[in-house]
Structure 1
Amino acid sequence: MARLKIHISRRSFLATGAAASAVLATPALSQQLPDTVQNRSEISATTRHNISAFRRMQWEPHFDSLRNGAILVDIDSRALHLWQEDGTHHLYPSSVPQSEDLTRRGRTRIVQKVVGPSWRPTPNMLRRNPEWPTVIGPGPDNPLGSHALYLGWTYYRIHGTHDTRKIGRRSSSGCIGLYNEHIAEVFDMTKVGTQVLLI
């Protein structure tokens, strides 16, 4: 009997229908992958890596402790993992930087938390786009969405977005983006001092 070979690209996986989209957009994905994915052994390496990031991960390989909580962002898989101090794990789909030269990896911490942040383009952004405004206040046009977690690296944030099309894509100029409802949850579960690792 001929064996059926199945190849799923990340794009086609994300576009397989409302059910798959709904699963990818919720933290519950860490509990259960859709049957259409679980039962397929022959999928691309990129898709396999992406799917693996949406399973429950352990914090111990990445952090010495959960003091103040911990956030792990997997850039390649576009997933944000959050562990609270008691070990409770949360998982969110994210947007990531558009290119490798805009991507920063390593360890940092949350140094400031802001509800209704104002957005200011970086000097490099203004050089590339001199027509941009120098500041956008809170509201539906603000690229930082409803909440922002400022990291110890200048110009880097974990923040919300009003443009939900960006989530799950390489679409930022360096920051990590979440749906507004997800950044609100992460905002409430973290504190200044929460450790952050981008891999």
Structure 2
Amino acid sequence: MSKKILAILFAVVFPTLALANTYTLPTPNNDMIGKVTYDYIKPGKNIKQLARENDIGYYEILQANPHINPQKTYDWQKFTIPSKYLLPDAPRSGLVMNIAELRLYYYPANSNKVITYPTAIGMLGMETPTGTFKVIERLDHPKWYVPKSEIAEMAKQGVYLPKVMDSNPANPLGYYGLRLSARTYLFHGTNVPPTVGRRASAGCMHLYPENIKALYEMVPVGTNVTIVDQPFKAGWVGNTLYFQAVTPLYEDRQKWMHNYRPIYTKVIKDAVKQVNAKVDINWQKVKEMLKEPNGIPQPIGHIT
């Protein structure tokens, strides 16, 4: 079956996902994509399924709906879908992964589009690294070479893993992957989709099965990969300055001793430096946003 036919079938089977995560790249002086939407828990569904249907990660939907108990949802309960983003402070080319928001941005070459996907990242003690890398291999139905530590740990629980696991529904790599130049790290699929949008891996970044398939088909070997850690982002839409905040990762909270002021102040001031004008900033609003970060960009200033 040709890739063209597969793409058509994908758009038919997953019409919302095929469109929801692709945006026109804003002009160089603008940094916002997407919009906040709303959706409802359908009968027989749960919050994890709602997140996947809207191409949102688990932590994202929880942060955007802090008043909702994920264990006590009900039919037709309304949810805010935080599908509005400031682009990370990174080159707008190749793959840009912001581990703080558990989200990947892909800038296809020779295109005016940006595509974004939720991801899982490394657990505490198995952190996903930051830095610059390249895609060195595209993996179709990859085998999983099980780490000795994983074999030993699972054996304690009475589960005995093989040294090599062929591609099958139980393989945690899923059916597609992109290997980075730091060879032990990949973007890959998963056999447990509800873990997308969580800290749930040994350092790799895994995506919903339909998203890694789409990414695998688009991304060539040699693509640049930039991995950043940016819980606070600031950017422009016309003459208005926006700020976006998520809860920093645990290790960042410890490193910064919960004193985020130097971090977010620098982010905002760096954005102001991009314009040759006086900017009136509502610092009180910034502080209010940081009391309960919801991951949704909000206006905090404007050119005067």
Q: Which residue of 1 aligns with 2:223?
A: 194
Give the alignment of 1:81-92 within 5 angstroms.
81-85=105-109, 86-92=111-117
Q: Which residue of 2 aligns with 1:121?
A: 146
1:31 to 34, 39, 48: 34
Q: Which residue of 2 aligns with 1:71?
A: 95
- Give the count of matched residue pairs: 159
Unpaired stretches in structure 1, ≥5 consecutive residues: 1-21, 37-45
Deviations 1:23-69 (A, max 9, x none): 9xx52695221369xxxxxxxxx948xx98951526xx422x73xxx
Counterpart CA distance in 1 for 2:222 and 2:104 is 17
Contact conserved, 2:122 with 2:128, CA < 8 A, in 1?
Answer: yes
The normalised TM-score by structure 2 is 0.47
Counterpart CA distance in 1 for 2:37 and 2:214 is 24
2:204 to 157, 175, 179: 175
Structure with the bigger percentage of strand:
2
The code of the aligned residue for 1:108 comes to F
Contact conserved, 2:35 with 2:82, CA < 8 A, in 1?
Answer: no
Q: Larger Cα Rg: Structure 1 or Structure 2?
A: 2
Query: What is the aligned-residue RMSD (CA, Å)?
Result: 2.8
Q: Which residue of 1 aligns with 2:193?
A: 164
Counterpart CA distance in 1 for 2:100 and 2:201 is 14
Higher RCO (CA 8 Å, separation ≥ 6 residues):
1
Deviations 1:57-96 (A, max 9, x none): 26xx422x73xxx111111211111010123100111111
Contact conserved, 1:122 with 1:155, CA < 8 A, in 2?
Answer: no
Following superposition, the deviation at residue 138 of structure 1 comes to 0.9
Q: Which residue of 1 aligns with 2:129?
A: 104
Q: Taking every aligned residue pair, what percent have the same amino acid on both sides? A: 23
Counterpart CA distance in 2 for 1:189 and 1:99 is 31
Greater CA deviation, 101-110 or 111-120? 101-110
Counterpart CA distance in 2 for 1:103 and 1:133 is 25
Secondary structure (helix, strand or coil) at the match of 2:150 reads helix
Contact conserved, 2:126 with 2:201, CA < 8 A, in 1?
Answer: no
Unpaired stretches in structure 2, ≥5 consecutive residues: 1-15, 24-32, 40-61, 65-80, 229-304
Counterpart CA distance in 1 for 2:144 and 2:84 is 30
Following superposition, the deviation at residue 132 of structure 1 comes to 2.5
Counterpart CA distance in 1 for 2:179 and 2:194 is 22
| Deviant stretches of 4+, over 6 Å | none
Match status 1:151 vs 2:176: no
The code of the aligned residue for 2:107 comes to W
1:57 to 79, 82, 87: 87
